[in-house]
Amino acid sequence: MNLRNVAIIAHVDHGKTTLVDQLFRQSGTFRDNQRVEERAMDSNDLEKERGITILAKPTSVEWEGTRINIVDTPGHADFGGEVERILSMVDGVILLVDSSEGAMPQTKFVTGKALKLGLRPIVVVNKVDRPDERIQEVLDEVFDLFVSLDATDEQLDFPVLYASGRNGYANEDPSLREGTLRPLFQKIVDHVPPPSLEVDAPFTFLVTLLDRDNFLGRILTGRVQSGTVKVNQPIHALDMAGNVIETGRASKIMTFQGLDRVPTDEASAGDIISIAGLTVATVSNTIADTTVTEAIQAQPIDPPTLSMRFAVNDSPMAGREGSKVTSRMIRDRLEREAESNVAIKVTESEDKDSFEVAGRGELQLGVLIETMRREGFELGISRPRVLFRQDENGNKTEPYETVVIDVDDEHSGTVVDKMNQRKGEMTDMRPSGGGKTRITFSAPSRGLIGYHGEFLSDTRGTGIMNRLFEKYGPHKGNIEGRKNGVLISNGNGEAQSYALGPLEDRGILFVGHGEALYEGMIIGENAKTEDLEVNPMKAKQLTNFRASGGKDDAVRLTPPKKMTLEQAIAYIDDDEMVEVTPKKIRLRKRHLDPHERKKASRAKVAA
């Protein structure tokens, strides 16, 4: 059978997963009457809830005698590590671009990686039925992007299709608004070369994805680089240096068919498969015939730029809501994550009670924390901090990001002012149509931590911000953080409406009546710059005197501000933590005792 391996790459929300749904339907992978969920490839709970792809996943469709292996990739820059690995499995890429938004930062990041590997792209302008489409300008942007990424003449001569993934059509004529995806299938077969690999050589296979199964154990996914593998064939795993780390048998070989893994007896060069039977081999290892001694070189992965401290939960409420609370359980879980996710690095602290977890961004680490929380873990999380480096002259450098912001014209002045305060430099500003402006900044990552919530407030929820790691540049000095102080509970107990009512005048509350509190827990934001210790547990003294004039009416409280996990992580200051349990997200001071806090602040000033 003919074989084609292709990856679909695009920015968040440009319609990759929806397009794959239609490819399934029109290739006959699903029966006509089969009930299938929307965005079938987003199988993980968090992916369904957030509407974004987090994990790269291979699938396969058959079309007129050709087997097309498709890899659906994440569109968010924080999950770029997933994309970098899987590009070595494919021979071509479909670059999907929104007909209105055009080429965005993530498009640039992944396309650059694909062009460096010599892959020839097929450009699909998606959502052509949008009322604000600007197809020709978007195509010009894509061409300029390819030129800026040093594309070859062959890569610049890319075919273009105009599609609507949701409505299931693609055409070479931009004015057509009907049809099927047949032109896209045909273009993949004609334009993407079949794998040119040695079938007669010994079997080799580079692991790019790692999964676990309760029955089969460790499942390793990747592309067969050479030779053929059969069930129960003796194999061994090599690390990057060519050292044998494990020997075993290929107990099960599976290929992809639609959404399912299907067992097969053998697979040959070019096929994307999963192998079970090894217990130690991991991502970027080479699985090969026992005669092979040389490892396949894996693609280098960009290093992490941000880190957080994951600590054992030591609050007075520890152990009440979660089942996994010890440092050993947290260590094992983080080590498993670092094994399958090459963009994450885990280091244990000297006290053995906390772990420094480094990753690509707040969203990536936020998704990890949310996943652990749902598994029953309790954690104490510190404020994110950027990873500094030294250049060749010994000067301190820090990570910078390219920030592309789309806002209504009326809010552009506020956004520019706020970005200047955070040491961002404007590199481009242009109208993007429909009363909107697109502004591009180069800004230190340190200044962007915690800005997203403020940005949404400033733009009345209409602004869109996209960020992408750009470079390590000179250190920008002190950047002002959160301006407001916090309200801190001075004791343990339950919050009372009688006490919370007067505190509403002090600022914004994060807790409501009846919530369990403890000393050192943050219950709200102070309207002033300093922290304030308050008593939110004071109840009304009950007497047998009746108040005159109905003054004893029930206190009416404004609903408290409830933060999501990402908002809480971005909100806290250096001396604060987020307590994460399966049921609650609480903010607290690192030192719960007020005397310890004073000592720590004096030590900080002295330093």
SS3 letters across 393-405: CCCEEEEEEEEEE
What burial class does residue 367 get, using C-beta atoms within 10 Å of its C-beta: 0-12 exposed, 13-18 middle, 19+ buried?
buried
- Residue 385's closest CA among 346, 366, 358? 358
Which two structure tokens, joined as six digits, stand for 152?
A: 């070859």
Six-digit token string for 542? 């009950």
Report the C-alpha gap between 130 and 574 in whole angstroms.
45
Separation of alpha carbons 269 and 266, rounded Å: 11
Query: In terms of Cα–Cα distance, which of 85, 65, 73 is closest to 3?
Result: 65
Degrees (nearest 5) of the Cα angle 257, 158, 222? Answer: 30
Per-residue pLDDT at 40: 45
* Residue whose C-alpha is closest to residue 99's, from 175, 155, 188: 175
3-class SS string, 85-153? HHHHHCCEEEEEEECCCECCHHHHHHHHHHHHCCCEEEEEEECCCCCCCCHHHHHHHHHHHHHHCCCCH
Predicted pLDDT at 607: 67
| pLDDT > 90 in the chain, percent | 2
Contact, 133 vs 174, CB < 8 A? Answer: no
Taking only the tens place, the pLDDT of each residue in 258-313 is 777 889 998 888 888 889 888 888 888 888 888 888 888 877 677 788 888 998 98
CA distances from 205 to 410, 446, 513 (A): 55, 40, 59
Rounded to whole angstroms, the Cα distance separating 599 from 212 reads: 47
How many residues does the structure list for the chain? Answer: 607
Going by the DSSP 8-state scheme, the letter that residue 177 receives in this structure is -
Confidence of residue 404 (pLDDT cuts 50, 70, 90): confident
- Give 299's contacts (C-beta < 8 A, 6+ positions apart): 84, 85, 87, 88, 113, 117
How high is the pLDDT of residue 166? 81
Per-residue pLDDT for 35 more than 50? no
DSSP-assigned letters across all residues of 306-357: EEEEEEE--STTTTSS-SB-SHHHHHHHHHHHHHH-TT-EEEE-TTSSEEEE
- Cβ contacts of 488 within 8 Å, gap of 6 or more: 520, 521, 522, 523, 531, 532, 533, 534, 589
3-state helix, strand, coil in the chain (%, to 5): 25, 35, 40
How would residue 53 be classed by pLDDT, with cut points 50, 70 and 90? low
* Spatial contact of 81 and 343, defined as CB atoms under 8 Å apart: yes
How many other CB atoms are there within 10 angstroms of residue 137's CB atom? 14
Give the distance from CA 202 to its chain's centroid: 37
Across 54-58, 198-202, 296-300, 581-585, least confident range: 54-58
Give the model confidence (pLDDT) of 205-237 as tens digits: 888 888 777 788 888 888 888 888 899 989 898
pLDDT band for position 42 (50/70/90)? very low
Residue 203 token pair: 């079997």
- 454 φ/ψ sector (left φ>0, alpha ψ -120 to 50, else beta): alpha
Going through 409-544 in order, the beta strands assigned E by DSSP cover 425-433, 436-444, 464-474, 486-489, 493-494, 507-509, 516-517, 521-526, 532-534
- DSSP code string of 37-88: -SSTT--SHHHHHHTS--S-EEEEEEETTEEEEEEE---SGGGHHHHHHHGG
Q: Looking at residues 508-532, what average pLDDT do you find?
A: 89
Give the CB-side neighbour count of residue 55, counting CA atoms within 13 A: 21
Beta bridge partners of 355: 310, 348
Q: Is 414 helix (H, G, I), strand (E, B) or coil?
A: helix
pLDDT for residue 82: 64
CB 384 within 8 A of CB 362: yes
